[in-house]
Amino acid sequence: MITENDIAAMVVISDNVLRDIEAGKYRDHYLIYNRKSTDDTENQQNSIAYQKAENMRLVLRDKLRIAPVSIKGFCVDGVITEKHSAFKTNSDIVLTKDGQVQFVIERPKFQRLMYLLSKGLFKGVVVLSSDRASRNSRDEMVIRDLMDRGVDFRFVNTKYDKSSAGELHKDIDGMFAKHRSRDTREKVTYTFRNLREKGVVTHRAPIGYLNPGDMYNKPFDPVRAPIIKRMFELCATGEWSLSALARWANAEGLTMTPMRRRRTAEEKAAEEDDEDTIVIEPVCRPLDPGDVQRILYNPFFYGMTNGNDGERVKSISHEPLVSQELAEKAQLALRGKRTSKHYSKKLPLSYRGVLNCFECGRVYTPYPKKGHIYLGARCAKSCPNKRRNVPATVLESMVGDLITRLSFSNGELTDLDGKTQSDISDIEKKRQEVLEQSDRRKKKVREDLSYLRENRIPLLKAGVYSPEGYVEEENRLNSELALLQKEEQAADASAHEVIVEIIKLSELLKDAYLHYYYGDSTEKERVMRTVFSELKLSGNTLEYQCKNGFRSLQNRFLQFCDPTGNRTRVPCLKSMCPNR
């Protein structure tokens, strides 16, 4: 008698069919089992259509009665169709205390078939050949046990006598079936090892490359490759985090390559006639920071591919998108931005995470001592920087000097008037880059709008959008397009206006210094984080890097051929340190 748990493990069937099976109505009937483990269209002898025709010919010849039962996800009119390997097995084996050996049958339909036959609910099963039923010793053991118990297995290509010769015949067929699978696996393994050793890409190429179905040819993706190359260049500057790169790439219209989701258990169990109605469309999802990290650390982009035993070899199937030097520079920039949390509860002190060691990158952490605040770094023993502790007042004084240096002096303003014309060409070049990026983004938005308007009726009929949702999506795209146009107009400002804005920024920075000078530690920290992206200490020298908005003021030292423009000397510590 079939229990409720058995019914749940099998399939959902109608009450009438279940009642008939339980009553033993089909004990004198057969089922037909067809299995295909490869999608090779030229292998017609093992195709599902060929197996169905040969099995039905045997049924008509021997006048067998096929059970007219249809069970969802299992069989249709007594015919079982399964696409699954019969060679692979689950390695888990359970030995019970009472001497039973339990293992899992990988093929779901075959497992249900063996269950029904073991209960005596059907007389037997019709199969093309023994290797269609099993190619591994475990499943073969189950089949042999059922045959010994009287279950009738009818093979189209073979007939086994009930004698020692018939048993030997079954042993030989089982041995050759397993040998054929092992031999095929071995040949495929050796072939792929030889290809990988030569540098052939035997796997799917990552985003930025196309997969035309040829292992020897992995061309560039003309849409995604330029954006990914630009991503490497931006990351190498050290000014971009993974999250910022992901947002930038998504704004540029970059998406992951189209991929189909995994088929559900119901879709895998669908009959061959129903497979044409199951359409799984590929989906392009946006990038997340994890995708960006995998891209930047993938050696595939500078011409390498997977070899044997974890090696990396030069590929003969694709061209490098970036140079190895650029990729390593981008990876080094990412590693330099990694930080660790050492404390679960932090003291409410200022300047936390503001200052780093220039040599080893360790952060200077604030700590109180004798009523004063100090910044200390636990540098590695091999670190050449011996300045492990700095008073907070010293840092405040150094940063104050930097702020005064960033603003223009009267002499610099006079020199700036003469350099304006040469600077305009550089600013114009940057403006053109901004306009090109804006054009790509506007093109993507216009394509989305065009697709939305051309397919309005199909999208509404398919239920992808409700009428209100359609209008909302169209308004969103129009707003995004208008915003891009405004940004383009802002980027179209003249170079002279940009110079004027830089001078205004310099004057505002002079005013900010007064607020910094008379502010408390919290306000001074806010000014530091607003102006500087990096502050690094090495001995008595402070290295600094301004944020993008203030970079033009910092770069003027380099334009004036001052190699130490981004450095300042620490004043005499003994004269500035409070009594300790």
Tokens of 371: 């009523």
Residue 370: CB atoms within 10 A of its CB come to 8
Asked whether residue 278 is domain-assigned, the answer is yes
Boundary residue ending a domain (303, 336, 369): 336
pLDDT of residue 503: 64
Examine the domain organization and report whether 237 and 309 are in the same domain. yes
| Residue 73 and residue 144 in one domain | yes
Q: List, in sequence order, every residue forming a beta bridge with 545; answer none if it has no partner.
A: 534
The domain that contains 270 carries what CATH number?
3.90.1750
Better-scored residue on pLDDT, 495 or 70: 70
- Residue-level pLDDT at 574: 40
pLDDT of 569 = 52
Q: Residue 217 corresponds to which tokens in the numbers above?
A: 């040819």
**SS3 state of residue 520:** coil
Mean pLDDT of 56-61: 90
Residue 86 sits in the same domain as residue 34: yes
Q: Is 193 part of a structural domain of the chain? A: no
- The total of structural domains in the chain comes to 4
- Give the mean model confidence (pLDDT) for residues 92-98: 72
pLDDT tens for 184-225 read: 788 888 888 899 899 999 989 999 999 998 899 999 999 999
Does 82 have pLDDT greater than 60?
yes
Check residues 383 and 580 and name the one with the higher pLDDT: 383
Pair (15, 89) in one structural domain = yes
> What pLDDT score does 475 carry?
86
What gap in Å lies between CA 13 and CA 315, rounded to an integer?
Answer: 53
Q: Are residues 536 and 460 in the same domain?
A: no
Residue 473 has pLDDT above 50, yes or no: yes
Beta bridge partners of 94: 102
Q: pLDDT band for position 275 (50/70/90)? A: low
Please indicate whether residue 64 or residue 261 has the higher confidence score (pLDDT).
64
Q: Are 449 and 475 in contact (CB under 8 A)?
A: no
pLDDT at 371: 84
Query: Are 489 and 511 members of one domain?
Result: no
Read off the pLDDT band of 167 (50, 70, 90).
Answer: confident
Report if residue 567 sits inside a domain.
yes
Token digits of residue 344: 């679960």
Domain finish residue from 495, 512, 540: 495
At residue 552, the pLDDT reads 65
- For residue 439, the model assigns a pLDDT of 82
Give the tens place of pLDDT for each residue, 477-513.
888 888 877 776 666 555 456 566 666 666 666 666 7
390 & 434 share domain:
no
Is pLDDT of 363 > 80?
Answer: yes
| Residue 257, in any domain of the structure | yes
- Answer yes or no: is 93 within a domain: yes
Residue 11 binned pLDDT confidence (cut-offs 50, 70, 90): very low
Cβ atoms of residues 272 and 48 within 8 Å: yes
CATH label of the domain that carries residue 54: 3.40.50.1390
pLDDT band at 273 (very low <50, low <70, confident <90, very high): low
**% of the chain beyond a pLDDT of 70:** 76
What digits encode the pLDDT tens for the residues 396-440? 888 888 877 776 666 666 665 555 555 556 666 777 777 788 788
Tokens at residue 18, please? Answer: 């279940």
Residue 12 lies in a domain: yes
Largest Cα–Cα distance in the chain? 111
Domain boundary (495, 515, 534) is at 495
Q: Is 214 left (phi over 0), alpha (psi -120 to 50) or beta?
A: beta
Non-local (6+) Cβ contacts of 331 within 8 A are: 296, 297
Residues 232 and 103 reside in one and the same domain:
no
Q: Is position 327 within any domain?
A: yes
Tens digit of each residue's pLDDT (9 = 90 or more) over 454-470: 888 877 777 778 888 88
Tell me the one-letter amino acid at 184: T
Same domain, 247 and 119: no
* Predicted pLDDT of residue 415: 64
DSSP 277: G
The whole-model pTM stands at 0.46
> Residue 88: its pLDDT value, please?
64
Tokens of 248: 């930038």
Residue 80 located in a structural domain: yes
pLDDT higher than threshold 50 for residue 330: yes
* Alpha-carbon gap, residue 477 to 192, rounded angstroms: 47
Residues 486 and 458 in one domain: yes
Q: Note whether 25 and 112 are same-domain residues.
A: yes
Its domain, for residue 152, covers 4-180
Q: Pick left, alpha or beta for residue 499 (phi over 0 → left; psi -120 to 50 → alpha; otherwise beta).
A: alpha
Specify the DSSP element, H or E, that contains 12. none
Alpha carbon distance 405, 73 (integer Å) = 77
The answer on 300 and 265 residing in a single domain is yes
Mean pLDDT over all residues of the chain? 78
Which tens digit of pLDDT belongs to each residue from 523-541? 888 888 888 888 888 888 8
CA pair distance 344, 207, nearest whole angstrom: 39
Give CA–CA dist 204/211, Å, rounded: 7
Q: For the chain, what percent of residues have pLDDT higher than 90?
A: 13
Predicted confidence at residue 578, as pLDDT, reads 44
